[in-house]
A and B are shown apart, each in its own frame.
Chain A
């Protein structure tokens, strides 16, 4: 955006023409001058011309009907999908029963001991407290259901991801094929994965597990490949110079050297899997996510919170423990297998003792019902804070104002714009920030949305995304700059960001519903809260990584701190800021789509509606539109260099 305004100010013809941004715009203007009149005379009007849409819902509906009709008879299902489905169900069931058999005392003990061996005493205590809290909240069984599903999904994701990563890490051709696919998969909202899986497997645990695997395997594959490729070239050369075979090189050098990336991959896969396992409650995952989903459906904030807290605890514990495993230094002496043996023995002893003492199911008397007090508090808030608070207004008032002053004009404006001008704007932005390739992909993705016949709801979603991104960037950049300039502020901020970045998307819906009710504004608010930590963190890092020598020389010339920020730090941190924009857009989109569950409408609602009504065809069309929208938004904001996932 900055280049756009800057370039229009330059008017001196020669210099003006040589500016790359101006040249790009000029080329685009010429193309537009030829194509637009043609398009307008052929297909006028603001919305996407119906002549250019292709009705895919009918063939999709037929395909879905065919699958449903043949699920029990066609050999493809009988001999492949059927087996996959059975194996998944059996595995989840087995893990679930094993967890219940070990009992709550045993599970807590095992969790704490593993955390202790891997990450130290503090995290072990934290793990124990987290498990006990899950029990106290009356969520032991759902927690174990979610955990069982997670165990199976994470194992499958890690295996699939590691194999793909190995292939991509060792073969350049595989890498060229896989990389764009994995990159694209990472920017797509979780919701987009649900429907294709449901189409094949129907609603249920297998679909939930497979959707989770598809969503969670890409980071493992990417990081495995990255680790294998990022190994110190000279070490590999030294290893080769000693006459190793290819297999020796892989096992003794490449894999151990990639240890850090591999463990980071496991960490990210676990976090993504948790996030998806919760969302997959929409397609029958059960467990904690399902409790949240049911509670949100009836706007029962208390019950949602009771299930949401275990999710957050689980997320934080899993992230910290697996993260700590990855941070162990190479220099540390390896932990002997003997201590592991002791730890396992102790855990087994606790489990057996718990079993003998009858501590298998969480005792009912120990449960604390927080749903009612929370709901009372929410009711009080509804009565006192929603509206009519003197001077500041109320939260519901804010939401209403935001909807009527920002979201509505934005949506109506976008929908009022002629369709070709939207395409043109997309092309211009994408080309200015990226290359003609990204611009072309973005325009094609946007056009595909029109062709699918979901132009209007997509623009509705887009308006929410734009509003949320604007708010996120304003708050995020301001906070990021403040954190970069004040060490104390950053120290205060860091633990908050750490926790916020580990929470699954779904959880963010609970507090916003409590505060703002349902509608589009809460969806936007959840998206802002979800995307903020990443934006703040990238901004802070970008500003802090500015070359200290450049900053020092500016200081030595007598620049004020404001001048340093404007003239040195911000320009030099431009790549980081663009990355923050890109990440912000991708993350916001993910939550805006999920916002369909709390009245966000548009594409997300169509997916949920399609699932609820068994109308997979229209849901699939909306899912495809989400994919296109995600692609478009990512490419429009994509600087030339690629980025890493949230939390990088």
Chain B
């Protein structure tokens, strides 16, 4: 296991390695004779309502394909009933998929026998659950050590390892409590610690924070960001909260009715929604906090403009640029390696906030959204270090407004 990717080596830079999870054409159909639905192209193309009336089946996951790369936070987001929780359970076959293929580090998950699958669940992928799934009759420490106990680790060793993890998630002093005596946020820390204790290659999160209060949710999100920064562990994160998805995700797969409607970076999702559904979804997102200055950038009109004014990095968000421009009272330069890529001025920044630059990246985002299969194989830029990972492919400058 190479989970101990240290914080210093930026994850994802080794492009040659296989994806952690490679999902291709995955289906999960509930209902009578579920097998025939993915096999029959005509049935496979039906809408959920039609499928239900024709066959009595529900396709919770329909022809989903994506790769999860080493070290990234891959967010699957969608409203309730969109199939995202089913999808994450299919990854370790907690729910048996109907069709398609899943590979972890190139190994076929669907072909695994029982003991191999147990091995996968014990060592390679650990899951954090929405309602925590803690054992009420065990102490915090024994809950955290449970995964190790299942593996057959001796009592003293597992307690020692569990104690270290308990400290890591900030639960020192609560080791001997029972889950019933903890608050919701503390319980989820136990759930997180339990998953971390087995030192898995991938962490799977199934809406882990939706049962928590907003303030505690924010704490926990920051906890996850911190853990990711420190350990660089690969994470698959399921959520129905767009803010959470944008905050945590390196890439986001947006699901609707079991299908992936768009897969891309937060900036691609917000900047160039693939269809009206996604557009409606991201309408209220404060765009200036997600989109980077590249969206608002124009070429420098003169050498003078390229030589003066505050410098900002290309990964900076529009809101950061607004602050810089407002302070300086002049356009700001977007600098990369000492070279001026372009400038942003108050007007161009304002048009991003107002959404009039929306069509700018539409053409670029189109291929990412063309379909889940295509999206999975779509070329993705090399990843930067987590600190400035929000680097999208450079969008062409915006000129025209998209027809309504």
A interface list, Cβ under 8 A from B: 232, 234-235, 237-245, 248, 252-253, 256-257, 259, 329-331, 333
B139-166 to A contact mask, C-beta < 8 Å, 1/0: 0000000110111000000000000000
Cβ-closest 4 pairs across A and B? A238-B133, A243-B122, A243-B121, A243-B118
Distance between A554 CB and nearest chain B CB, rounded to angstroms = 32
Residue B358 interfacial (CB < 8 Å): no
B65 CB to nearest chain A CB (Å) = 23
| B133 and A330 within 8 A (CB) | no
Expressed in whole angstroms, the Cα–Cα distance for A329 and B181 within the complex equals: 11
Residue among B123, B130, B180, B191 making CB contact with A330, cutoff 8 Å: B180
Chain B residues contacting A238 (CB-CB under 8 Å) are 127, 129, 132-134, 191, 194
Given contacts A242-B126, A242-B147, A248-B150, contact A237 B133 (CB under 8 A): yes
B94 and A241 form a contact (CB under 8 A): yes
Q: Tell which of B132, B135, B136, B191 touches A239, judged by Cβ atoms closer than 8 Å.
A: B135
Q: Which residues of A lie under 8 Å from residue B298 when comparing CB positions?
A: none
Q: Which residues of B contact A256 (CB under 8 A)?
A: 135, 137
Residues of A within 8 A of B131 (CB): 232, 234
Q: Taking CB as reference atom, which chain A residue is nearest B114?
A: A245
Main secondary structure of the interface of A (DSSP, over half): helix
CB-based contact B178/A331 at 8 Å? yes
Contact A235 B151, beta carbon cutoff 8 Å: no
Task: Determine the distance from Cα of A248 to Cα of B146 in the docked complex, in whole angstroms.
Answer: 11
Q: For A259, list chain B residues within 8 Å (CB).
A: 137
**Contact of A253 with B135 at beta-carbon distance under 8 Å, contacts A241-B126, A241-B127 already known:** yes
Taking the closest CB of chain A, its distance from the CB of B161, in whole angstroms, is 14
Instruction: Contacts A238-B133, A241-B121, A243-B147 known; list 7 others, CB within 8 Å.
Output: A232-B131, A238-B129, A238-B134, A239-B146, A242-B194, A252-B135, A256-B135
Distance of A527 from chain B, by nearest CB (Å) = 42
Instruction: Tell me the minimal C-beta distance from B129 to chain A in angstroms.
Output: 5
Taking A238-B127, A238-B129, A331-B180 as contacts, is the C-beta distance between A243 and B137 under 8 angstroms? no
Inter-chain CA distance A234–B134, complex, in Å, is: 9
Q: How many Å lie between the Cα of A475 and that of B14 in the bound state?
A: 80
When distances are taken between beta carbons in the complex, the residues of chain B under 8 Å from A234 are: 129-133
User: What are the residues of chain A within 8 A of B77 when measuring CB–CB?
Assistant: none
| B 173-190 contacts with A by CB, 8 A | 176, 178, 180-181
Complex alpha-carbon distance, A259 and B120, angstroms: 30
- Judge if B98 is at the interface, Cβ distance under 8 Å: no
In contact, A240 and B150 (Cβ under 8 angstroms): no
A263–chain B nearest beta-carbon distance, Å = 13
Least Cβ–Cβ distance between B97 and chain A, in angstroms? 16
Contact A240 B129 (CB under 8 A): no
Q: How far is the CB of A182 from chain B (nearest CB, A)?
A: 27
- Does B311 make an interface contact (CB < 8 A)? no
Residues of B within 8 A of A244 (CB): 118, 150
Contact indicator A257/B121 (Cβ below 8 Å) = no
A224–B204 Cα gap in the complex (Å)? 33
**Alpha-carbon distance between A245 and B178 when the two chains are bound, in angstroms:** 24
Min Cβ gap A19→B in Å is 30
> What B residues does A330 contact at CB under 8 A?
136-137, 178, 180
Which residues from chain B contact A239 at a C-beta distance below 8 Å?
133, 135, 146
Cross-chain contact A241 with B92 (CB below 8 angstroms): yes
CA of A209 to CA of B178 in the docked complex: distance in angstroms?
41
Indicate whether A240 sits within 8 Å of B137 (C-beta atoms), given known contacts A234-B129, A234-B130, A248-B150.
no
B274 at the interface (CB under 8 A from A): no
A residues in contact with B137, CB < 8 Å: 256-257, 259, 330
Chain B's interface size range is 20 to 34
B81 to chain A, nearest CB (A): 17
Q: Give the chain A neighbours of B219 by CB distance below 8 A.
A: none
Is B136 within 8 A of A257, CB to CB?
yes
Residue of A nearest to B182 (CB): A331
B residues within 8 A CB of A243?
Answer: 117-123, 147, 150-151
B:104-124 near A, CB below 8 Å? 117-123
Cα A252 to Cα B151 in complex, Å, equals 13
Can you give 29 contacting A-B residue pairs, CB < 8 Å?
A232-B133, A234-B130, A234-B132, A234-B133, A235-B133, A237-B89, A237-B129, A238-B127, A238-B133, A240-B121, A241-B121, A241-B126, A241-B127, A241-B204, A242-B121, A242-B122, A242-B146, A243-B118, A243-B150, A243-B151, A244-B118, A252-B146, A252-B150, A256-B135, A256-B137, A259-B137, A330-B136, A331-B178, A331-B181
Q: Is the CB of B135 within 8 A of A257?
A: yes
Q: How far is the CA of A243 from the CA of B120 in the complex (A)?
A: 7
Expressed in whole angstroms, the Cα–Cα distance for A248 and B180 within the complex equals 23
B188 → chain A closest CB, angstroms? 12
CB-CB under 8 A from B122, the residues of chain A are: 242-243
B99 close to A (CB within 8 Å): no
Q: Cα distance A235–B136 when bound, in Å?
A: 9
The smallest C-beta distance from A337 to any residue of chain B, in angstroms, reads 17
A244 nearest CB across to chain B (Å) = 5
Tell me the nearest residue of chain B to A249, going by C-beta.
B150
With a cutoff of 8 Å between Cβ atoms, the chain A residues found around residue B176 in the complex are 333
Tell me, in angstroms, the Cα distance from A30 to B92 when the chains sit together.
Answer: 58
B198 interface residue per 8 A CB criterion: yes
Report A-chain residues with C-beta under 8 Å of the C-beta of B129.
234, 237-238, 241
- A234 and B136 alpha carbons, distance in the complex (Å): 12
* Closest Cβ neighbor of B119 among chain A residues: A243
A240, A242, A253, A331 — which one has the most chain B CB atoms within 10 A of its CB? A242
Indicate the member of A234, A243, A330 with the most B CB atoms within 10 Å: A243
Q: Nearest Cβ distance between residue B119 and chain A, in whole angstroms?
A: 7
Instruction: Pick from B117, B120, B130, B149 the residue with the most CB of A within 10 Å.
Output: B149
Q: Are A245 and B135 in contact (CB under 8 A)?
A: no
Measured between beta carbons, the chain A residues less than 8 angstroms from B151 are 243
User: Residue on A with the closest CB to B136?
Assistant: A330
Given the complex of chains A and B, what is the CA–CA distance between A637 and B295 in angstroms? 72
Bound form: Cα–Cα A253–B143 in Å? 11
Closest residue of B by beta carbon distance from A235: B133
Report which residue of B126, B133, B178, B180 has the largest number of chain A beta carbons within 10 angstroms of its beta carbon.
B133
**How near does chain B come to A257, taking the closest CB pair, in angstroms?**
7
Complex CA gap A234/B129 in Å reads 7
Chain B's closest residue to A246 (CB) is: B114
Residue contact B127 to A235, C-beta cutoff 8 Å: no
B118 adjacent to A329 (CB under 8 Å): no
CA distance A237 to B181 in the complex (A): 22
* Nearest CB on A from B356, distance (A): 46
Instruction: For A235, list chain B residues within 8 Å (CB).
Output: 133-136
Closest B residue by C-beta to A238: B133
- For the complex, what is the distance from the CA of A241 to the CA of B202, rounded to whole Å? 13
B-chain residues with CB within 8 Å of residue A257 when the two chains form the complex: 135-137
Task: Give complex CA distance A239, B118 in Å.
Answer: 11
- Closest residue of chain A to B95 (Cβ to Cβ) is A237
- In the complex, A329 Cα to B146 Cα: how many Å? 21
Contacts of A232 in B (CB 8 A): 131, 133
Residue of B nearest to A255 (CB): B137
Q: How far is the CA of A232 from the CA of B135 in the complex (A)?
A: 10
B131 nearest in chain A by CB position:
A234
Q: Is the CB of A237 within 8 A of B150?
A: no
Shortest Cβ gap from A89 to chain B (Å): 40
Most chain A CB atoms below 10 A, which of B123, B147, B191: B147
B180 surroundings in chain A (CB, below 8 A): 329-331
Closest chain B residue to A332, Cβ basis: B178
Contacts of B204 in A (CB 8 A): 241
Q: Closest CB-CB distance, B193 to chain A, in whole Å?
A: 13
User: How many Å from the CB of A325 to the closest CB on chain B?
Assistant: 15
Chain B residues lying within 8 Å of A333, measured Cβ to Cβ, are: 176
- Specify the chain B residue showing the minimal Cβ separation from A333: B176
CB-defined contacts of A245 to chain B, threshold 8 Å: 118
| CA distance in complex: A243, B126 (Å) | 9
How many angstroms between the C-alpha atoms of A235 and B176 in the bound complex? 20
Bound-complex Cα distance A241 to B136 (A): 17
- A259-B135 Cα distance, complex, nearest whole Å: 12
Task: Specify which chain A residues have a CB less than 8 angstroms from the CB of B136 in the assembled complex.
Answer: 235, 257, 330
Tell me which residues across on chain A come within 8 A of B191, comparing CB atoms. 238
The chain B residue sitting closest to A248, CB to CB, is B150
